């Protein structure tokens, strides 16, 4: 009986000792947590530095250490909690580093699809196609309208590169487009998205429609060729003015000014009609451009070399004359793989001055790859991009299953494009010429300041004085250095006319 009492007392004593250890454990863990902030992954160890300290002697010290010992499970739990705390601290630090003005998402995330968006525009009062800070551009207006219409999400509205926006061709200040293509990733869930985009655009910019394309589609690199049109009044081919020639011969360069065009002269110019011989000369001259040539003299000086100035021209056609508001006009159409900066305008400007003096056509061949000279740049008013072509891409997609990717073509929108071109482009060109006499002023300028164009002569001899020397500026009207038509401060860039 006494033996049973002894065993029961021993069991009770052991129970009290175990309860004491469990009660002390949370406090011990908390103490260890505050003592080891630098090593969250290392759990406290119960191995003493001195093995003898664990022996059950030395005033009960061994008993105290045994009461505070941790099991493996408890050490793992401690380490897990420390890691969780540290991760939470890091997350909080990252959130503090982020800007606090980020708008909260107020709309569900909608899928984006790669599309080719087709549009047209009148470039008057715009600083070209490509977006440019602090400038009014076609791309800037388009992207803003797409964001407002929901075609671009709020998260991507601050930067058009987020939707991979790319244009098929760049256009210069004041240049128009009946057909232009931009590729981008766009939200197309709304079946009326085109109408909504147009509702946020000015009348002189219209989106015709879009088509789904491959994810790898790039409107610039996959464009096979571009077709441009140039409208000009035929009076620009009239013989040189005697008054302008007198000013150029007798007045110092810095003191010259353009003479006023009298009402009688203006009536004579509007009544001018090109003869069949003149038309044939013009058609033959533009035909010389066909094929592959070195067009280094038909672009800007800076950045142009023999290695990057060759271009292939498919054709350059001249329409029959058409009378618009009493004046005779011609439509020139050129198709090429790509064009350099101002190339088309310089090609037109050269033929105008050659036709006025009936210069032999061999001069054009001489200028292909010859010493650098300043070729006159015709006004941007008459130039418009008719359409970029994607024949290769369309052949590739035509062999795929129906409904996967569409053809990049303007044909479905031909009626709307023709009406827009007549109202907002053709009429604008003619009305601007009538009111501002843009072509008349340009012709007079080339006659009053002919020094840089002396190479346009019937002997086809290029004078030394007309050769452009890199780093040497030529005189400008008003006595300042530089050259109005050379644009030597611009970079060579494809498809910007």
Active site residues: 172
Write down the H helix ranges in 358-436: 362-367, 391-398, 414-420, 427-436
Q: Tell me how many degrees the CA angle 482-487-493 measures, rounded to the nearest 5.
A: 155
Could you list the beta-strand ranges (E) of 146-187.
166-167, 176-186
Q: Which of 118, 124, 128 is nearest to 427 (CA)?
A: 124
For residues 53 and 64, give the distance between their C-alpha atoms in angstroms, rounded to a whole number.
11
User: String of b and e for 233-268 (b: at least 16 CB within 10 Å)?
Assistant: bbbbbbeebebbeebbeeeeeeebebeebeeeeeee
- Could you count the other beta carbons within 10 Å of the beta carbon of residue 311? 20
Which residues are within 8 A (CB) of 130 and not within 5 positions of it... i.e. 6 or more apart? 137, 139, 167, 170
Is-contact 272 300, C-beta < 8 A?
A: no
| DSSP string computed for 271-293 | T----HHHHHHHHHHHHTT-EEE
312 strand-pairing partners: 292
For residues 227 and 229, give the distance between their C-alpha atoms in angstroms, rounded to a whole number.
7
Residue whose token pair is 């672009």: 299
For residues 315 and 176, give the distance between their C-alpha atoms in angstroms, rounded to a whole number.
21
Write the burial class of residue 290 (CB in 10 Å: 0-12 exposed, 13-18 middle, 19+ buried).
middle
Write the burial class of residue 276 (CB in 10 Å: 0-12 exposed, 13-18 middle, 19+ buried).
exposed
End-to-end Cα distance, the chain: 116
Could you list the beta-strand ranges (E) of 49-175.
113-121, 166-167
Which residues are within 8 A (CB) of 471 and not within 5 positions of it... i.e. 6 or more apart? none
User: String of b and e for 138-147 (b: at least 16 CB within 10 Å)?
Assistant: bbbbbbbbbb
Q: Which of 215, 208, 266, 203 is nearest to 238 (CA)?
A: 266
Residues in the chain: 497
For residues 183 and 393, give the distance between their C-alpha atoms in angstroms, rounded to a whole number.
13
């Amino acid at each position: 009986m006494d033996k049973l009492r002894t065993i029961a007392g021993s069991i009770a004593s052991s129970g009290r000792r175990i309860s004491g250890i469990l009660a002390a454990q949370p406090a011990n863990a908390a103490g260890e947590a505050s003592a080891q902030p630098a090593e969250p992954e290392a759990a406290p160890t119960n191995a003493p530095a001195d093995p003898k300290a664990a022996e059950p002697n030395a005033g009960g010290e061994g008993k105290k250490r045994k009461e505070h010992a941790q099991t493996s499970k408890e050490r793992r739990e401690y380490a897990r909690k420390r890691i969780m705390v540290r991760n939470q601290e890091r997350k909080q630090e990252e959130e503090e580093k982020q800007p606090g003005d980020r708008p909260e998402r107020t709309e569900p995330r909608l899928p984006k699809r790669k599309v080719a968006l087709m549009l047209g525009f009148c470039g008057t009062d715009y600083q070209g196609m490509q977006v440019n800070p602090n400038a009014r551009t076609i791309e800037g207006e388009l992207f803003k309208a797409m964001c407002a219409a929901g075609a671009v999400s709020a998260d991507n509205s601050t930067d058009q590169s987020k939707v991979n926006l790319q244009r098929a061709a760049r256009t210069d200040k004041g240049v128009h487009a009946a057909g232009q293509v931009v590729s981008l990733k766009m939200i197309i869930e709304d079946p009326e998205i085109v109408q909504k985009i147009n509702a946020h655009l000015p009348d002189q910019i219209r989106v015709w429609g879009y088509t789904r394309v491959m994810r790898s589609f790039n409107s610039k690199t996959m464009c096979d060729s571009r077709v441009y049109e140039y409208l000009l009044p035929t009076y620009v081919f009239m013989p040189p003015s005697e008054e302008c020639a007198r000013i150029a011969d007798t007045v110092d360069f810095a003191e010259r000014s353009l003479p006023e065009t009298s009402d009688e002269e203006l009536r004579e110019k509007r009544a001018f009609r090109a003869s069949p011989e003149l038309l044939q000369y013009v058609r033959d001259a533009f035909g010389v451009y066909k094929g592959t040539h070195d067009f280094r003299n038909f672009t800007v000086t800076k950045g142009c070399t023999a290695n990057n100035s060759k271009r292939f021209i498919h054709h350059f056609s001249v329409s029959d004359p058409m009378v618009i508001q009493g004046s005779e006009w011609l439509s020139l159409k050129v198709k090429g793989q790509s064009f350099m900066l101002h190339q088309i305008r310089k090609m037109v400007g050269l033929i105008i001055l050659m036709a006025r003096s009936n210069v032999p056509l061999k001069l054009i061949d001489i200028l292909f790859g010859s010493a650098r000279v300043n070729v006159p740049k015709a006004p941007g008013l008459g130039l418009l991009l008719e359409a970029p072509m994607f024949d290769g891409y369309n052949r590739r997609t035509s062999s795929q299953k129906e409904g996967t990717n569409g053809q990049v073509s303007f044909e479905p929108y031909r009626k709307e494009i023709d009406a827009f071109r007549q109202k907002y482009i053709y009429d604008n060109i003619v009305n601007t010429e009538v009111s501002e006499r843009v072509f008349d002023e340009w012709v007079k300028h080339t006659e009053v300041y002919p020094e840089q164009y002396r190479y346009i002569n019937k002997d086809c001899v290029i004078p030394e004085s007309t050769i452009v020397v890199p780093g040497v500026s030529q005189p400008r009207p008003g006595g300042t250095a530089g050259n109005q038509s050379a644009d030597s401060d611009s970079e060579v860039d494809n498809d910007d006319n």
